[in-house]
Every structure is written in C-alpha cells, then in structure tokens.
C-alpha cells in the first residue's frame, strides 16, 4: 500500500546546495533530495557508510509555504604551516562565500510503497538519534520536523494539495508553488543519492514546477 510522509521544514536559515564547487557554496530555492534524505538518516541514526537504496527510491515533492530570501555570507579560513625554524606561520587565507535561505518554510512529501519504512521515519523524526539540520549543520530546524498525522495513505500530489496551510491551518491557496519529482520530464537536478553518503556520489533526477491548482 502506497503512502506519503509529510515533513515541515522551517528555520531561520536553510541551505540546500546541489552543485557547489571549491570554496563557493550555493543553495537551491527548495530543499534538495540529498539534503532531505540526509536529515532522515540523521533521525534514524543511519551511518554515512550505510546503503541508501530504500530511501533513495522514495519520490519527493515540495510545497513552498513561504519563499525564503537568499543571503550571502563570507567565511574565512587560514591555513597554518610550520616553517623550517619550527615557528608557525600563516600560509593562506581563503574567502568562502556561503549562500542561505532566510525565513523559508516548506512542506515536503516522501512517497513510496513501503508503509513500514515511512512509519519508522515518522517515528524517528519525532525522536531523532542525531541532531537534525536543514541542509547544513549550522541550520537547525525551528520546532518539530514531524507533523502529527503526517503519514497519510494518499498519493504524493493529493497529499501536498490537501494538507492545510502550515502557517494558517486554512485550505492551501491554489497558486501555491509545488516542485515534484518526475521520471521523464522537467529540469535536471544532481541531488539523487546513488551510493552511501560517504562516497559523495549523486545522479540526476527530473523535477517540474506546478501549482496546487494543477495537482
């Protein structure tokens, strides 16, 4: 029996990078699949070297409850080297731009056939083994990620369309933006885990953007 698990992702800052290179760390405007599954693994206490096949097979959708504002921060790191005379000296200072989403809120749906897996994830999100973060360790969530009654026997599109607005509790407006994982069409994002997280290997997946009224 198929089911959908709904998650609430909100915090002062979030960061969902999918194509960062070298010292610059970008963010998508919605949660990445790799980032959400990383959060799920932290809740379950699943080590970075453990397989992800069961979680990677879940189909993901995101309803944007509150669009975030992109912020840019600068971090510096200075390497320390030991000179021939045994004294420490500064080697090189690196400036690393970091991008974040401020004041964003998302309703995330994970959909699959294994109801028991989603039930274990739901329970773990309410009692996480390790601290949860919204893309980066410096971005903790505000409040619980688990939603009471958030595991529903429904399809992904229907669950995202009918869950009440997270801000008001009212029926969700029809123009609310939704980003859905698709098998064949849409834009490509390189955030599909294809190996344990320790191997840092991610493949492409298709996503398409619609509105709640189109679901």
> How far apart, in whole angstroms, are the C-alpha atoms of residue 112 and residue 185?
20
pLDDT digits (tens, 9 = 90+) for 187-204: 999 999 999 999 999 999
Say yes or no to pLDDT of 94 above 80. no
Question: Three-state DSSP class for 29?
Answer: coil
Task: Measure Cα distances from 132 to 3, 14, 96 in Å.
Answer: 23, 12, 24
pLDDT at residue 79, as a whole number:
59
Q: Report the share of the chain in percent with pLDDT over 90.
A: 81
Q: What is the pTM of this model?
A: 0.89
pLDDT digits (tens, 9 = 90+) for 120-147: 999 999 999 999 999 999 999 999 999 9
Give me the helix-helix angle, 115-126 and 33-44, nearest 10°. Answer: 70
Which domains, and CATH codes, for the chain?
Answer: 3-70+100-214 (3.30.70.2660)
Say yes or no to pLDDT of 87 above 70. no
Say yes or no to pLDDT of 78 above 90. no
Say yes or no to pLDDT of 18 above 80. yes
Structure tokens at 29: 């405007």
Q: For 130-133, which contacts have Cβ atoms below 8 Å and span 24 or more sequence positions? A: 130/42, 130/43, 130/45, 131/42, 132/39, 132/42, 132/43, 133/39, 133/42
């Amino acid at each position: 029996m198929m089911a959908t698990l709904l998650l609430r992702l909100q915090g002062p800052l979030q960061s969902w990078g999918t194509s960062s290179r070298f010292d610059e760390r970008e963010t998508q405007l919605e949660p990445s699949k790799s980032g959400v599954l990383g959060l799920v693994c932290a809740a379950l206490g699943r080590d970075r070297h453990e397989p992800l096949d069961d979680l990677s097979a879940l189909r993901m959708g995101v309803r944007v409850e509150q669009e975030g504002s992109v912020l840019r921060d600068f971090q510096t790191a200075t390497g320390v080297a030991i000179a021939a005379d045994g004294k420490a000296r500064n080697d090189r200072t690196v400036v690393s731009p970091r991008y974040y989403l401020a004041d964003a809120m998302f309703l995330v749906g994970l959909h699959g056939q294994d109801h028991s897996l989603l039930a274990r994830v739901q329970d773990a999100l309410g009692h996480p083994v390790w601290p949860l973060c919204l893309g980066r360790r410096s971005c903790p969530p505000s409040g619980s990620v688990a939603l009471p009654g958030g595991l529903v026997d429904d399809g992904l599109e229907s669950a995202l369309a009918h869950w009440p607005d997270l801000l008001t509790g009212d029926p969700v407006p029809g123009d609310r933006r939704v980003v859905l994982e698709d098998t064949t069409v849409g834009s490509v994002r390189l955030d599909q885990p294809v190996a344990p997280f320790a191997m840092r290997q991610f493949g492409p997946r298709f996503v398409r953007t619609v509105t709640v009224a189109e679901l």
